[in-house]
Amino acid sequence: MRAPFAPRIRSVLLLVAALFLSPFLPGSSTTSAFAAPLPLDEYLSQVRSDNPGVRAADETSRGALLRSREARLVFAPQLSATAQVLSDARPQLNSFAPEKTTGSSFTFGLSQQFAFGAQARLGYQLSHVRLHVNPAATGFYNTTDYFDAIPSLELAVPLLRNFGGSESRAQQELVEAAALATHYGEAHHARMLLLEAELAYWRLAAGREVVEVQERTLSRTKFLREWAAKRVRFNLGDRSDLLQADAAHRFRELELQAARDEERAAEQGFNSIRGREPGAKVEPLAPLAQARAEIAPEWKTLSEPPRPREDLLASEQARRLSSGQAEQAAERNRANLELFGQAQLNGRSGTASDALSSGFSLDKRTASVGVRLVSSLNFGAKSDARDGAEREQAAASMAFERRRFEQKQEFLDLRSRLAEAQARLGLARELEKLQEEKVTHERNRLQRGRSTTFQLIQFEADYSTAQLARLRAQFEVIQLVARLNTFGAHP
C-alpha cells in the first residue's frame, strides 16, 4: 500500500519546500533599471533648475532684495543739469525794445534731502544773452552781448511737516519694507515648494517599499493557496482551508493593486514637481532608512524656533510697511511750515572768462530768507486720516505678534509630534520583529503538521500589517523632520 502514496509524499515535500523558501524569493521590481539611486539632494537640484515655480520664486526673491537698496536713494545726493538755447522774437510795443533775444544757458546742481529734515541745493548757472536791437536804440544799451555766471545755494528747514525728517524716514521705510516683504514672502514660497518636493521624493520611496512588501506577501499567499490546493487534491486537508487561502490571495492581489496605483500617483507627482512628463522613467530612490530621522540635538531643548522663518520675516516687514504708511499719512496731513533761505553770487561780463571770475565776488551778492506755509482747511478729514493710519499700524503689529506666536506653537507642536512619532516607530519596529519571529515559527509548526493553513494565513497577515505600520511610522517621522527643518537655514 506504500507505493501509491510515494508520489503524493514527494509532491507534498516539494510543495512544503517551495512554501518555506518563498519568503526568500525576490519580488518583481517596479523600478526601472538605473545605475544608482537618485539622491535627495540631486532631486532637489533638479527641482530648483527645472521647476518654473521654484525658479520664479527664487528670482523674485533675489530681485526684491536688490530692489530694497532703492531705499538708500531717499537720502542720496541728486544731480541735475539743464542745457537750453533761447530765441525770443515776440513783437514789442516800442522801437527801443530789442527786436529779438537769443542766447543759451547751462545749469548744474546738486541737491540732497537730509535725514534730519533739511533740504539743500547747490547750483551754478552760466548763460549767454544777445540782444538784437534797432540801430536807433543802440544808445540805450551799454551792452547787447553778455555772459552771466551765477552760483547759488538754497536751504529749507521744515518746522511742522517732516520736522526732524520723520516723513522722509517713513518714505525710506516704505520702499525698503515693501521690497523686503516680497523678498521674504517669495523665499518662503520657494522653501515650501522644496519641502513639497522632498515629501514627494519620500512618498514615492515609501510607495515603492509598500509595493515590495505587498509583492512578497502575495508571493507567500500564492504558495499557501497552492499548498492548500495540493492538500485538498490528495485528501490531506479540508476544502475550507483552500477557500480561506484563495480569499487571502485575492485580498492580497487587491492590496498590491492599490499599492501600485499609489506608486503610480506618487511617480506622477514626483515627475511633475521636477518639470517632467508624468510617464517619464523614474530612477531608483534612496530607502526610507537613509532619510533624516532626527533634528539638530540643540533644537530639542529650545522654547522657540531657532530662527524666524521667512513667513514671519515677511510679516515683520508688513508691520514696518504699515508703520511707515501711518507715519507718512500723519506727516502728509500736517501743515507745511518751513524756513527757507537763498543766496547767490552774480557775475556779468562781455566775455565768458570775465563772467566766471567775477561770479565768485561777494560785491554783487543776492540773499533772501522767508517762511512758507501750506495747509489744508479740512481739519476733520485730516484727523480721520491720521486715526485710520494709526489703527492700521496697530492692526499690523497685532497680526505680526499673532504670527510669531503661531510659528512658535507650530515649532513646539512639530517637535512634540516628532518625539511621539519616533516612539511609535520604535514600537513598530519591535512589533515587526516579533511578527516576523511568530510567522517563521508558525511555518515550522505547519511543516510539522502542528498548525493549520488558516493560522499561518492569519500570521502572514499580521506580519504584513506590521511591516506596513513600520513604513507608515517611518514616513511620518520623515515628514515631521522635513517640516521642522524649514526653521533652519535658508534653502
Cβ-proximal residues to 397 (8 Å cutoff; 6+ apart), any chain: 319, 322, 323
Alpha carbons within 13 angstroms on the beta-carbon side of residue 88 total 12
- At 418-468, the pLDDT tens digits run 999 999 999 999 999 999 999 899 888 877 778 777 788 888 889 999 999
User: What dihedral do alpha carbons 178, 179, 183, 189 form, nearest 10°?
Assistant: 40
Q: What string of DSSP letters covers 473-487?
A: HHHHHHHHHHHHGGG
Residues 277, 384 contacting (CB under 8 angstroms): no
pLDDT at 137: 59
* Residue reference for cell 533652519: 488
pLDDT at 26: 38
pLDDT at 90: 83
Q: Which residues of the chain have pLDDT under 70?
A: 1-35, 95-96, 135-143, 489-491
Rounded Cα–Cα distance for residues 454 and 244 (Å): 7
Residues 416, 204 contacting (CB under 8 angstroms): no
Rounded Cα–Cα distance for residues 488 and 491 (Å): 9
Q: What are the backbone angles phi and psi of residue 130, rounded to the nearest 5°?
A: -130, 125
pLDDT at 417: 95
pLDDT at 29: 41
User: For the chain, which domains are there?
Assistant: 3-67+173-319+395-487 (1.20.1600.10), 79-113+118-161+336-374 (no CATH)
